[in-house]
């Protein structure tokens, strides 16, 4: 606390469901925060926890999730910037990128193996991934049955929070509904790995808007989804210096 003002803080919501009252509650919280003078900066984030109890032991789900991050992580991270183009200063410490680590080991992971062995290999073989401070946290999945998405930047905009939650839920649903062709993801992974400048490219390559639009097309279930998701990422691109 400084000069009767709180500097820094964390809010944790109760478990919420996709109902009108939930969204109104989130909107009210954002309005209260804004009226209280709350602001977010480059250190802030909005973590999203999703109940995946019905699919966390599904090999296809884990394989598709891993391959999606290996292919689309930069574009997903761009979307989760939310309000404007802003690379969060604490991301390398609290929402680590997994793309390079996954591409480096993904061909050595047996995705048809026993689910416990699969989780162990995907998390701890090679460079560890899907742990507590990675972009997606599955470290205690057996206990929590929840997937924590740590990519999103902080915001008190109710529409941005709604978009981020909806995008996350639609991504999970799209995997459950087998909307992703694993052979296409495998081909894209092979293309990434085969690049002569593989390591350099992963560090310095540009976000590909076409890939993000492709992902949005796959996960959207109605025109409103597509409009909202597209509007958010285009707003972010317009604020990029």
The tokens for 139 are: 């470290």
Orientation angle between helical segments 59-79 and 115-124, nearest 10 degrees: 30
pLDDT exceeds cutoff 60 at 205: no
Mean of the per-residue pLDDT values for the chain? Answer: 91
Residue 45 DSSP SS3 = strand
pLDDT tens-digit profile of 123-161? 999 999 999 999 999 999 999 999 999 999 999 999 999
The tokens for 101 are: 């680590």
The closest of 139, 61, 68, 135 to 106, measured between CA atoms, is: 68
Res 202: pLDDT: 53
Torsion-angle region of 215 (φ positive above 0: left; ψ -120 to 50: alpha; else: beta) = alpha
pLDDT tens-digit profile of 215-231? 999 999 999 999 999 99
Q: Phi and psi for 136 in degrees, rounded to 5? A: -125, 125
Q: Which residues pair with 50 in a beta bridge?
A: 147
pLDDT exceeds cutoff 60 at 49: yes
Q: Count other C-beta atoms under 10 Å from residue 208's C-beta.
A: 13
pTM of the model: 0.91
More confident residue, 108 or 1: 108
Res 1: pLDDT: 41
pLDDT tens-digit profile of 88-126? 999 999 999 999 999 999 999 999 999 999 999 999 999
């Amino acid at each position: 606390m400084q000069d009767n003002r709180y500097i820094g803080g964390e809010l944790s919501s109760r478990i919420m469901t996709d109902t009108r009252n939930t969204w109104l509650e989130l909107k009210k919280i954002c309005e209260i925060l804004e009226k209280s003078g709350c602001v977010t900066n480059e250190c802030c984030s909005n973590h999203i926890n999703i109940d995946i109890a019905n699919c966390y032991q599904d090999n296809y789900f884990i394989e598709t999730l891993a391959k999606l991050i290996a292919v689309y992580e930069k574009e997903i991270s761009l979307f989760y910037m939310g309000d404007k183009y802003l690379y969060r200063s604490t991301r390398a410490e609290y929402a680590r990128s997994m793309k390079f680590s996954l591409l480096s080991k993904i061909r050595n992971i047996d995705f048809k193996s026993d689910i416990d062995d699969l989780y162990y290999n995907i998390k701890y073989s090679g460079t560890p991934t899907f742990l507590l401070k990675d972009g997606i946290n599955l470290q205690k999945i057996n206990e929590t049955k929840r997937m924590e998405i740590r990519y999103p930047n902080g915001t008190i905009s109710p529409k941005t929070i709604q978009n981020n939650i909806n995008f996350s839920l639609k991504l999970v649903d799209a995997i459950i509904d087998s909307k992703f062709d694993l052979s296409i993801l495998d081909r894209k992974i092979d293309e990434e790995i085969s690049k002569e400048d593989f390591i350099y490219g992963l560090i310095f390559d540009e976000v590909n808007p076409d890939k993000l639009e492709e992902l949005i097309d796959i996960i959207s279930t109605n025109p409103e989804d597509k409009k909202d998701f597209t509007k958010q990422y285009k707003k972010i691109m317009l604020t990029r210096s």
